[in-house]
């Protein structure tokens, strides 16, 4: 376990966490003190109220997960429904071997990949417009649009790691598990993504990127980030 230092991320619909491998704090849900895992186990034994509670906790994070990755809000809604439907179907086979939120995001990520494959197939062989690379055009403020355009310029894997960390608040280990990447690769790519995003959002910082970050004695990680092998899951 890590110490309870405050996390960097502050801006997610995901449930707040104080450290890696911690469940959401009880203060967020004073009326329902049970953990996600307990609720899921209760639901697998037939408690519909437990599922309702889980749904109330995760409906916004899961919808946000899909909304940031798809262009059409109706697609995000449909994928959210599908994710919870899969959760319903798999309830009888659920075993609390990992955090529930990791389990749920793994389901969502698989559904998202299937949706992307289907969209790519339709775009390839039927000429339908792809909707997977232009997410979230609606209800945007000017600054939000600027941020999204900057995020879209990132490398695809870096982009995904950044979103999983910043918005879904997954730990490095959870991201590595989800994307089938080494944990050090996740850390390096996250660092590279944040640095690139900072340069994109603050053009003045991009003029001297070497000055943007303090040089370190080992100085190996920053150079290693430039030579990260392209392995792991295809996004």
Partner 1 sequence: MSTTPHPIAPEEIMAHLDGELSPARAHSVSTHLDSCSACQEFAASLRSTSQSLSSWTTGPNPAGLENKVILAASKSPSQTGSLGSNRFPRTHRWRRKQWIGGLAVTAAATVFLFSISIPTLHRSQSVAQKASVLTHLREQKAQVTYGQPVDNARVNSEEEQQDSARLGSTYYSQALSAPAPPASAKALKETTTLQLYAKLQGATGPQQAGPMIARTVSLSIIAKDFDSSRASLDAILVRHNGYSANLSVSTPQDAARSLQASLRIPAPQLPTALAELKALGRAEAENQSGEEVTQQHADLVARLKNSRETEQRLQAILTQRTGKISDVLEVEQEIARVRGEIEQMEAEQKNLEHRVDFATIDLKLCEEYKAKLDSPTPAISTLFHNAAVNGYRNVADTLLSIVLFFAEYGPVLVFWLLVFFIPAWLARRRWRHATAAI
Task: Determine the length of the chain.
Answer: 235
- Non-local CB neighbours of 84 within 8 Å, separated by 6+ positions: 55, 59, 62
Output 139 or 229, the one with its CB closest to partner 1: 139
Shortest separation between residue 30's beta carbon and partner 1, angstroms: 21
Shortest separation between residue 123's beta carbon and partner 1, angstroms: 5
Environment class of residue 59 by beta-carbon count within 10 Å: exposed (0-12), middle (13-18) or buried (19+)? middle
Shortest separation between residue 33's beta carbon and partner 1, angstroms: 21
Q: What is the CA radius of gyration of the chain?
A: 19
Q: What is the largest CA-CA distance in the chain?
A: 59
Shortest separation between residue 167's beta carbon and partner 1, angstroms: 7
Which residue, among 132, 233, 135, has the nearest Cα to 186 in the 3D structure?
233
Shortest separation between residue 38's beta carbon and partner 1, angstroms: 15
DSSP 8-state assignment for residue 93: G
């Amino acid at each position: 376990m890590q110490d309870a230092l405050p996390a960097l991320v502050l801006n997610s619909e995901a449930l707040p966490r104080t450290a890696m491998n911690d469940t959401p704090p009880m203060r967020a849900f004073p009326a329902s003190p049970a953990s996600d895992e307990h609720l899921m186990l209760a639901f697998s034994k037939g408690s519909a109220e437990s599922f309702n509670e889980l749904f109330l906790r995760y409906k916004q994070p899961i919808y946000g997960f899909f909304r940031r990755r798809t262009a059409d809000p109706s697609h995000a809604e449909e994928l959210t429904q599908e994710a919870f439907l899969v959760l319903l179907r798999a309830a009888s086979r659920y075993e609390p071997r990992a955090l529930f939120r990791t389990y749920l995001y793994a389901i969502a990520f698989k559904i998202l990949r299937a949706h992307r494959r289907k969209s790519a197939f339709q775009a390839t062989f039927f000429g339908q417009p792809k909707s997977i690379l232009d997410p979230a055009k609606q209800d945007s403020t000017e600054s939000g649009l600027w941020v999204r355009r900057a995020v879209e310029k990132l490398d695809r894997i870096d982009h995904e790691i950044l979103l999983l960390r910043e918005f879904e608040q997954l730990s490095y280990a959870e991201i590595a598990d989800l994307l089938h990447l080494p944990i050090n690769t996740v850390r390096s790519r996250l660092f590279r993504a944040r640095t690139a995003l900072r340069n994109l959002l603050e053009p003045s910082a991009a003029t001297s990127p070497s000055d943007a970050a303090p040089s370190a004695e080992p100085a190996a990680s920053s150079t290693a980030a430039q030579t990260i092998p392209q392995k792991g899951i295809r996004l």
